[in-house]
Structure 1
């Protein structure tokens, strides 16, 4: 059985969920990443399917900063 990565929508949901579970509200995520509220909502809802590399990188950087 081969390993498959989850669809991008699910991966983004997980990433945003990790950030939210750290206690950061959406308004703070938007401010820290430069994303629009609509983009963040689409990611949380699993509707974002083609994010830019920069968008994903900003979210990953934020998550990593919060884990420290």
Structure 2
């Protein structure tokens, strides 16, 4: 089931399309995203901060 308007701030580990979207957006595998959710919870902002610490700040070309 996809996120509704009220829960866009969460990434559902049980929704393959949400995991896949987050993974592709950040250059990760689905398993890496699920591991991040296990470690940090499913809050989207927290997960994006965790990705930034792993991958470093994005560079604009």
Q: TM-score range by the shorter chain?
A: 0.3 to 0.5
Q: Report the structure, 1 or 2, having the larger helix content.
A: 1
Taking structure 1 as the reference length, the TM-score comes to 0.32
Point out which structure has higher relative CO (alpha carbons under 8 A, 6+ apart): 1
Taking structure 2 as the reference length, the TM-score comes to 0.35
